[in-house]
Amino acid sequence: MFDKKEYMKAYYQANKEKVKEQTKAYYEANKEKRNAQKREYYKKNKEELKASGKDWREANKEKIKAYKKAWYKVNKEKKKAHDKAYKQANKGKVNALTAKRKASKLQRTPSWLTKEDLAEIEDIYRMAKRRSEVEGIEYHVDHIIPLQGRNISGLHVPSNLQILKATENLRKSNNHG
């Protein structure tokens, strides 16, 4: 009796390179069609795919951890260069995140801040960076009411932030006003 599966396996073994070239040519010729099919499939099965991905990650935590560790060992310099380039290209965002992290440690960033408030804070840091670049004078984002004042402590919120020249901010130190 003819076994199609065995025949295809034997054909593939005998013609590996030819099959690979044909497959590659097909994928190249039908790239848009295949991408549209993929998008449609993901759209239809989004929740199921998310769940199965989550399940796989849960079941393979150690495998993922080992892979990340091995990747980092091999790509340590590449990762450092990427991080440095990102920080250079996104100074405002990095500064905003650094300030937010510091403020969070002090428990001065309220939980009731909206996404718009957080975006506004990020914009303030971006504007300070831009002003520094344009004017050639260093600017800081200052908390009007300091986060660690002696008599009063402010919050890390947009209404408590102002852009000051670095010299003024350093002179003001941790004082109100």
pLDDT in tens, 134-177: 999 999 999 888 887 778 878 889 999 999 998 888 778 767 76
- Rounded to whole angstroms, the Cα distance separating 161 from 173 reads 14
pLDDT at position 158 is 93
pLDDT at position 174 is 67
- Rounded to whole angstroms, the Cα distance separating 56 from 129 reads 42
Of the two residues 6 and 173, the one the predictor is more confident about is 6
- Which pTM was predicted? 0.46
- Rounded to whole angstroms, the Cα distance separating 139 from 22 reads 60
* Average pLDDT, integer, range 56-73: 91
* Poorest-pLDDT segment among 73-77, 81-85, 101-105: 101-105
Instruction: List pLDDT tens digits, range 32-58.
Output: 998 999 999 999 999 999 999 999 999
Percent of the chain at pLDDT > 90 equals 58
